Structure 1
Amino acid sequence: MAAVLSADQIDALVTAAEDLGQGRHGVEELLSQMTKAVLERAMETELSDHLGYEAGDPAGHGTGNSRNGKTTKSVQTLQGPVQITVPRDRNGSFEPVIVPKRARRLGKVEDMILSLYARGMTTRDIGSHLQEIYGSKVSAATISRVTDVVADEVAQWQSRPLESVYPIVYIDAIWLKIRDGGVVANKACHVAVGVDLEGRKQVLGLWLGATEGAKFWANVLTEIRNRGVRDILILCCDGLTGLPAAVNSIYPETVVQTCVVHLLRSAMKYASYSDRKTM
């Protein structure tokens, strides 16, 4: 693949960055100006495609639509806030794609917010991080709106309808560190994975609990049944006390199979460390 910029062009950019400021500041200012220039040039091209003629082309006379000045707005990018001018058409039918109408954040700022949120950062911490690293000031209310969308999507996924029959369902709990109310604590994340009639694995859901117990799993299986699962042929689980009875109280005909990995792990407790590899 050919290089996007030649060595001479890169040298020119380095010189321009040095003229704009010392060290990182000069580079950031150059990137900001380049972002502004590229966005404005792209929107001018989009408007020409929309109108069907270039600026100043006599072919545009009598077409019923024309350029109608520009508006200025600020957008947040990963290079920080950038002031751009957005071209308009007289009929108001131009809808730019690269910078959509009413969009105030570009460059996957939303993705950055969600990535930080998934790592357990609070809305205040996320706002401070974006301000410090990218110079982008994003309000706590905006961050909350972005994360609320994800919360809604998660809720819809967690309550989605399931297949009526799963030949095999695997259940187990994973202990994770979860931030809750500003405090990080160990919680059991209960995972149910179903194998459908075509052999494809599906994560049926994730449920957080303070501990792993047969009673909690009974509630999980009740929810799965309420979401449309009428029969499970084989349910694979560990040797948790009371779990087979809890499973059969919801699905009486289901065969409960102890997981072989758990069985081997438990059997190794009774062997000396030197014999485990041979076993």
Structure 2
Amino acid sequence: MAAKEWVRLAKEQGLALDGPNGLLGQFTKTFLEAALNEEMTDHLGHEKNRAPDERDDSNVRNGTRPKTVISPTTGPVTIQVPRDMDATFTPVIVPKRQRRLTGVDEIVLSLYARGLTTGEISARYNQIYGAQVSKETISRITDKVIAEMQTWQARPLDGVYAAIYAAIGATLDGDKDILRLWAGTGGEGAKFWMSVLTDIKNRGVSDTFFLVCDGLKGLPNVVGNVWPLTRCRRASFT
């Protein structure tokens, strides 16, 4: 699984991705809380802080309660689950009395790595929710999560970082998979990229149609040594 591979590499390189305060846990928390709040909006029939004369009934939000859920990749994640005054809200993405998450890790990783389009995110939500919530609710959840993601992606950054390279593959079915992440200094050459591509090939990728990179020196020169028929293209991902 891409999620487990990411965490394994993070541990090797000393990056705090998993664990109680890890980056993946923060992503999962944001993802779940955004979905839960939109589920509550659907349940009540009105947005948060709606004026009394604009509500469908007298039931309103009644704060939140903490709940710790277990993700196979990140471990325990504490989230705030919204409550309603009548205590009739039944969450779907995190059901009552269920703590172990299923089907969440991969979508969280793909979402924050820009590996999913808006339509693909909605489709993944459909898989999770099925017919339990309306298409309108799924659309609102998608919009909310994308807004949260864009805020994170536009956050201020530190002045200096090690380079992190991501290899993302598109399957023949159109799905995207984070193949691996590597840390570097920004000056990697042909020898480094040869080892990267060889590693991917040794793990099972016998061929690829296209390889697209963003100004990486040395990479286009070694692609043909690993996959002779692959076409290499340069593109800007900024």
TM-score by length of 1: 0.30
- If asked which structure has higher relative contact order (CA below 8 Å, sep 6+), I would say 2
Q: Which of the two has greater strand per residue?
A: 1
